[in-house]
A and B are shown apart, each in its own frame.
Chain A
């Protein structure tokens, strides 16, 4: 009996953590095949952790508020890019430049976040597809601003930012004077591995903030809204406002995260940096074992390590196995999309199961009541 029970527990553990386990298996197979040295691998992973974790953490707040995976985090990334373009045109470099870019991104993020929140409130029940389309739509507006308005309407002085034709921003904006300035300040080298302490401190601060925030009144409200909107409304919570706040917070944090990301990369691909960021962050979070309605800080860290290990080793391993390096490239893109697809399917089936169980429970209770009344 007990044995049976523990087996059941083990199976349910497997089922609940199938995605991380699958990824651990992929990594275990691919790492030896790729032939990377451990120090190179660890170095890469630490760099990528510093680069991505802040961005991924911003996804936690909308999940808490029951709004699913925030594909609209791209908006925050766009806000950060706008801010960085302006800052680099003003030629403010180093740490002051990074801090200024973060501050400057806040108003853009708030504006975009409020717009996104308002639209999502009009599309309750299909937040994810809507936020996904919003990110496409805003990409059009972003292009309109960056490609046509920067120059004639928004003053841009320096020719290393501006296109030769006199308006619009170059395809790639160099951040060479800002490159890794956060990462290098207070950096510690441990056995050939560079650890960007300051970046990790910022990440730690954000983690503490999220833990603290969950306990505040607003955080509790968000969780209530996430549980059941109608109940929350009856309890006197302003549901619409709470949802907008959660999206605005997520967007602002995504803006900060994007500044950290770009200072690590050292340049902005003006028209493409933001387009993939949402997809990769969401995939990483899901790889860490999160689902559409439940995600923790632990999921973020595990997800970044597993996802990016796969990302680093897959092209090389693919080249070794099939003799074609493109296979590995396509494989990692496929895996990112497949993970999101599977997570979405699992979430929807679970939701339906819970619903039908609740229905059955209700029916049972009703029958019992009727039986009691008949007696």
Chain B
């Protein structure tokens, strides 16, 4: 309340600079860049509404994975570079659901149900490990992700999958690198209540699904357990003194994050239309990490609006740069821009002095 009163007294310029300070300079630059891309799009012959639909579509695919960052940031475990572990639970759910013969929309529900126990078990192990090495979470999380992905590369070949839609045609064993989801849960969420106006199409179902999860997360963070988790993140000593079980809170946050990552990859797959195995999940953590940071989160603070703004900005840049830059300067610099923007954002967050205190 006081804050709003103060704001009315400030001059426009003060307010603008205060806004810039709270929003963060890199974020402002990225937002301005995206705005510029949107303005430039019609001039270089790219259809504005198609671009908007693409951005919204990609937003809907990725938002849940970005949401998975929130619990661990809240409990002080830092950025979840170990996202691939959750993704692997999701992939296990996806492949097992197809293997067991489920089809259509029901296979999506089953994929989530099957993925859940894997996510809980792997998440619990991962959380236990992170409790042992407080302070070094991020580096170890990265390598836990990498090792689990490369371990599963062997497993995809060795596990006795039989379904002909998934295994290599010739040898009859070993999963393919990409599995089409046609006839299973391809676009299953996106097709619910889809809105099509001219070139604009909005995957309402996926957005609603994300909204549901985001609301659940918001409600959880405001529950007693959620508040305790935030307390652990902001000041572990104080939380301990207040009678909160620090290790348990952290464990819970890691499990939650892993489960959300598992659901996130399934949502991504239903939008994309394919299951990608083997090395595909390897670098999937980095876009999610940079998205939430672009949205205004820091290493130890994140909110649901951060997720939404960040995913929109990041995916906006990813979808817009190839088309706009290509037609503008006839060079595909999108890859370079994506790398520099996303990694630069992570670096910026890691080097902030105020957040360096653990």
| Tally of contacts, chain A with chain B, CB under 8 A | 114
Q: Within residues 110 to 144 of chain B, which ones have a CB less than 8 A from any CB in chain A? A: 129, 132-136, 138-140, 142-144
B190 lies within 8 A of chain A by Cβ: no
Q: Which residues of A contact B343 (CB under 8 A)?
A: 133, 136-137, 139-140
Q: Are B129 and A345 in contact (CB under 8 A)?
A: yes
Q: Are A344 and B154 in contact (CB under 8 A)?
A: no
Among residues of B, the one whose C-beta sits closest to the C-beta of A121 is B351
C-alpha gap A148/B144 in the complex (Å): 35
C-alpha gap A349/B147 in the complex (Å): 19
Q: Looking at the complex, which one of B138, B143, B174, B353 makes contact with A324 (CB distance below 8 Å)? A: B174
CB-CB under 8 A for A337 and B146, given A140-B336, A144-B340, A322-B158: yes
B44 lies within 8 A of chain A by Cβ: no
Q: Are B134 and A352 in contact (CB under 8 A)?
A: yes
Q: Within residues 130 to 178 of chain A, which ones have a CB less than 8 A from any CB in chain B? A: 130, 132-134, 136-137, 139-141, 143-144, 147-148
Q: Are A119 and B351 in contact (CB under 8 A)?
A: yes
Q: Are A341 and B339 in contact (CB under 8 A)?
A: no
Q: Which residues of B contact A141 (CB under 8 A)?
A: 340
Q: Are B140 and A126 in contact (CB under 8 A)?
A: no
C-alpha gap A352/B136 in the complex (Å): 10
Q: Looking at the complex, which one of A123, A134, A348 makes contact with B133 (CB distance below 8 Å)? A: A348
C-alpha gap A123/B129 in the complex (Å): 24
Q: Which residues of A contact B358 (CB under 8 A)?
A: 125
Give the distance to chain B from A124, nearest Cβ to Cβ, in Å: 7
Q: Are A147 and B336 in contact (CB under 8 A)?
A: yes
Q: Which residues of A contact B353 (CB under 8 A)?
A: 122
Q: Which residues of A contact B140 (CB under 8 A)?
A: 341, 344-345, 348
Give the distance to chain A from B153, nearest Cβ to Cβ, in Å: 4
The 0/1 profile, CB within 8 Å of A marked 1, for residues 155-172 of chain B is 001100000000000000
The 0/1 profile, CB within 8 Å of A marked 1, for residues 222-263 of chain B is 000000000000000000000000000000000000000000
The 0/1 profile, CB within 8 Å of B marked 1, for residues 328-358 of chain A is 0011011001101100110111011000000
Q: Which residues of A contact B33 (CB under 8 A)?
A: none
Among residues of A, the one whose C-beta sits closest to the C-beta of B290 is A133
Q: Are B147 and A338 in contact (CB under 8 A)?
A: yes
Among residues of B, the one whose C-beta sits closest to the C-beta of A324 is B157
Q: List 16 additional contacts besides A137-B347, A349-B132; criterion CB under 8 Å.
A: A123-B351, A125-B358, A129-B139, A130-B347, A130-B351, A133-B346, A133-B350, A136-B286, A143-B335, A143-B336, A148-B331, A324-B174, A326-B157, A330-B154, A340-B143, A345-B132
The 4 closest A-B pairs by CB, nearest first: A140-B339, A348-B133, A137-B343, A334-B150
- Using a CB–CB distance below 8 Å, which chain B residues touch chain A? 81, 129, 132-136, 138-140, 142-144, 146-147, 150-151, 153-154, 157-158, 174, 286, 331, 333, 335-336, 339-340, 343-344, 346-347, 350-351, 353, 356, 358
